[in-house]
Amino acid sequence: MNIHDRTPADLLRSTLAVDASRPLLTFYDDATGERVEFSAATLANWVAKTANLIQDDLAAQRGDRVVLLLPAHWQTAVWVLACSAAGVVADIGGDPAAADVVVSGPERLPEARACGGERVALALRPLGARFPQPPEGFTDYAVAVPGQPDTFAAYDPPGPGDPALAVDGAELAGDVVVERARADAAERGLAPGCRVMSRMDYGSWRGLSEGLLAPLAVGGSVVLCRNADGLDAAALAARRESERVTHFAA
């Protein structure tokens, strides 16, 4: 990857420049049977649309705090990268009452109501479908995001030293996130073209690193598995073979 990458959003831009068409994130939800695959170009399009939503519709400004009450999911990956592009802090599992914006999955909507700012709800249904009935007091992400522009330019671009991610009780600047992701990749022996299967949640640095940031930092890709605890060894082995997985994180 580009040695000049200094934020998580930079990592995605470099991946896009190298090979926009290659698979970047493959997502399984074994509770619903969903499997969806995103090329670098497709994921970048979702990130751009979401960053425009953050900047324009939600009126979030550089340095604002966006609390993410979300599981390991392809849409969570989009929000983490979009927050970086817009210059807002992606606060993983933080206090909604202290947030400028809260983004919640269906299971944590009551908790998210503590946010006095903008609230966004994700149904987390297959193929990004909307809620059958929108939650009162929330913007339905699946309704709001499709009409956003396909390209993004920050009004006030973030710098590498600006806070980008809050996780495990620590707030990390964009360049620190990139450095830690690269260090994790080196420790794990990840290299360009690696394909990491992760069953870990996104609620910790390790889960985010294994299931998104470390592979992204070295030009790899991710197979993200949600609700996969019930899979037996044979099913996991078959998936690893079919997806050409090189590394595994549980």
The one-letter code for the residue type at 16 is L
Of 201, 171, 200, which Cα lies nearest the Cα of 94? 171
Over 90: is that where the pLDDT of 187 sits? Answer: yes
Tens of pLDDT, residues 170-184: 999 999 999 999 999
Which residues share a beta bridge with 247?
A: 196
Q: State the average pLDDT for the chain.
A: 96
pTM across the whole model: 0.97
What does the DSSP 8-state code read for residue 49? H
Tens of pLDDT, residues 96-129: 999 999 999 999 999 999 999 999 999 999 989 9
Three-state DSSP state, 70: coil
What are the percentages of helix, strand and coil residues in the chain, rounded to 5? 40, 20, 40
Contact partners, residue 34, CB within 8 Å, separation at least 6: 27, 28, 126, 127
Q: Between residues 20 and 5, which one has the greater pLDDT? A: 20
Tens of pLDDT, residues 21-40: 999 999 999 999 999 999 99
Q: For each of the domains in the chain, give its residue range(s) and CATH number, in order of start.
A: 8-249 (3.40.50.12780)
pLDDT of residue 3: 62
